[in-house]
A and B are shown apart, each in its own frame.
Chain A
Amino acid sequence: MEKNLEFYFTQLQENKTQRNFKQVYKLSSVRLFGVILRILKKKELSEDCLQEVYIKIWNRVDTYNSEKANMMTWMSTIARNHAIDYVRKHELPIQDDFELSIIKDEQVHFLDNLEANDTNKQLHDCLGQLKEDSKNAVFMAYFNGLTYDNIAKTIGSPVSTIKTWVARSLPILKKCLENVHA
């Protein structure tokens, strides 16, 4: 069997040792750090949060069910949720230095990545149906952990407008995601 993340994660579930966990960390931490950094923006805070995330993963490794989700998906969900909790728990002024230009660059990179991967081309094309404003709002919420209020302040539009954009984009997003997992 190839000694990839799946191999070491399975090893870790069977034999919960630091040695196996270190391999899981090596093979997954770059991605999880990216997930966290996009939300917290600051490197030091993101490192502190990443540390907490891996402790959480270590404590919950027995609860992972491969039938429900891919292990990387499972870990990235833990990382994102923990990063959002981290912002809100510490009342961090993260949103103060948020710039709209950053999210647009991230979107371009993200969509490039999707397009480069054949299996994700379908998702890329599907997300292309979202209107620019709606896409910005959804991306800001998901990748950067911004709430309706935060997005409204960043874009300079009323909360009700953002809610309308998001409401319009959700059926498309739902369709895109369900197709990917079909």
Chain B
Amino acid sequence: MLNQENLAYEYALGLLTKAEKEAVELTPEFLAEVSKIQLQLSALQLQAPLDTNKSKQIWGNISQQIKADQSTWQETLSARFRMWLYVLPAIFLAFGSLMLFEETASVSDPYSMAIINAKVGWEVNADVENHKLSIASVNPMLVGKNEVCALWVQKDGVIQLISTLPNSGNKIVNISPKIASMLEGGEAIISIETSNQPMNKPTRIEYQNQLS
């Protein structure tokens, strides 16, 4: 086998480390070869033993996330349209006075409790009763390559990591009953963490807010 073909197999099999993968020149021909091998290898994958023991909640989460993605897309469009309704009169009035306006963030149903306001960069709402959290990335904080924003809750001196925050799109997270109880009257915290380090407590706190 040619070296390049060997490399494509190693790449497709997942044998290379991240650093080794980064060193590979990803030409369109190479990627096409990898893709072909991956599809061939999938024949093996589909013959592997099955595991049926998974939570029935997963479909509910997927369904909600798709709905949230669709509503965010629609809200973005309507928000842009709304913006012009404000901006155009403001341009006319700007000669006489300075007009300050603020776009208010919406809290989407059916989530009952707003944890983070969209102005912070994410819109986070909790369905406390069903132990679910909806996270929508609106205008996330810029972080370094190996950094990630993390959401925490703090109550009565106890601090718990809830989830990392996505750079784009939406995410539905199942939360434990303990975290759900901490959200009521607790404090929401957003911190910047190094993605390859264990997250035991917030490292660089960027935002704190008392929850009602």
**Contact status of A58 and B66, CB under 8 A, knowing A51-B58, A147-B14:** yes
Tell whether, in the assembled complex, residue B65 and residue A141 are in contact, meaning their CB atoms are under 8 Å apart.
Answer: no
Within 8 A of A (CB), among B6-58: 6, 9-10, 13-18, 20, 37-55, 58
Among A33, A35, A180, the residue within 8 A (CB) of B54 is A33
Given the complex, which residues of A lie within 8 Å of B37, measured CB to CB? Answer: 177
Determine whether A12 belongs to the interface, using a CB cutoff of 8 Å to chain B: no
Determine whether B165 belongs to the interface, using a CB cutoff of 8 Å to chain A: no
Among B14, B43, B58, B61, the residue within 8 A (CB) of A84 is B14
Tell whether, in the assembled complex, residue A113 and residue B39 are in contact, meaning their CB atoms are under 8 Å apart.
Answer: no
Given the complex, which residues of B lie within 8 Å of A76, measured CB to CB? Answer: 42, 45-46
* Total residues of chain B contacting the partner, CB 8 A: 44
Tell me, rounded to whole Å, the shortest Cβ–Cβ distance linking B166 to chain A: 10
Size band of the A side of the interface?
A: 35 or more
**Contact status of A166 and B15, CB under 8 A, knowing A73-B42, A89-B195:** yes
A25 to B62, CA, bound (A): 10
**Contact status of A141 and B49, CB under 8 A, knowing A51-B62, A55-B66, A77-B42:** no
Among B9, B41, B42, B51, the residue within 8 A (CB) of A34 is B51
Tell whether, in the assembled complex, residue A109 and residue B46 are in contact, meaning their CB atoms are under 8 Å apart.
Answer: no
Tell me, rounded to whole Å, the shortest Cβ–Cβ distance linking B145 to chain A: 12
Tell me, rounded to whole Å, the shortest Cβ–Cβ distance linking B7 to chain A: 10
Tell whether, in the assembled complex, residue B47 and residue A120 are in contact, meaning their CB atoms are under 8 Å apart.
Answer: yes
Tell whether, in the assembled complex, residue B54 and residue A31 are in contact, meaning their CB atoms are under 8 Å apart.
Answer: no
Given the complex, which residues of A lie within 8 Å of B81, measured CB to CB? Answer: none
Mostly helix, strand, loop or mixed at chain A's interface?
A: helix
Within 8 A of B (CB), among A46-102: 46-47, 50-51, 54-55, 58, 68-69, 72-74, 76-77, 80-81, 84, 88-91
Tell whether, in the assembled complex, residue A113 and residue B172 are in contact, meaning their CB atoms are under 8 Å apart.
Answer: no
Determine whether B1 belongs to the interface, using a CB cutoff of 8 Å to chain A: yes
Tell whether, in the assembled complex, residue B54 and residue A47 are in contact, meaning their CB atoms are under 8 Å apart.
Answer: yes
Tell me, rounded to whole Å, the shortest Cβ–Cβ distance linking B65 to chain A: 6
Residue of B nearest to A50 (CB): B58
The listed residue with most A CB atoms (<10 A of its CB), out of B6, B10, B15, B18, is B15
The listed residue with most B CB atoms (<10 A of its CB), out of A22, A142, A143, is A142
Residue of A nearest to B65 (CB): A55
Mostly helix, strand, loop or mixed at chain B's interface?
A: helix
Tell whether, in the assembled complex, residue B48 and residue A113 are in contact, meaning their CB atoms are under 8 Å apart.
Answer: yes
A113 to B43, CA, bound (A): 12
Tell me, rounded to whole Å, the shortest Cβ–Cβ distance linking A59 to chain B: 8
Among B41, B65, B196, the residue within 8 A (CB) of A142 is B41
- Interchain Cβ contacts under 8 Å between A and B, 23 examples: A22-B59, A26-B59, A29-B54, A30-B54, A33-B54, A34-B49, A34-B50, A34-B51, A43-B54, A47-B55, A50-B54, A51-B65, A55-B66, A69-B42, A72-B42, A90-B195, A106-B49, A110-B44, A113-B48, A148-B15, A174-B5, A177-B43, A180-B40
Q: Chain A residues in contact with chain B, CB under 8 A?
A: 18, 21-22, 25-26, 29-31, 33-35, 37-38, 43, 46-47, 50-51, 54-55, 58, 68-69, 72-74, 76-77, 80-81, 84, 88-91, 106, 109-110, 113-114, 117, 120, 123, 138, 141-143, 145-149, 151, 166-167, 170-171, 173-174, 177-178, 180-181
Other A-B contacts than A25-B62, A68-B39, A170-B9, 18 sampled, CB-CB below 8 A, are: A21-B66, A26-B59, A29-B58, A30-B51, A35-B48, A50-B58, A77-B39, A89-B195, A110-B44, A123-B47, A138-B13, A142-B41, A145-B14, A174-B5, A174-B9, A177-B40, A177-B43, A178-B40
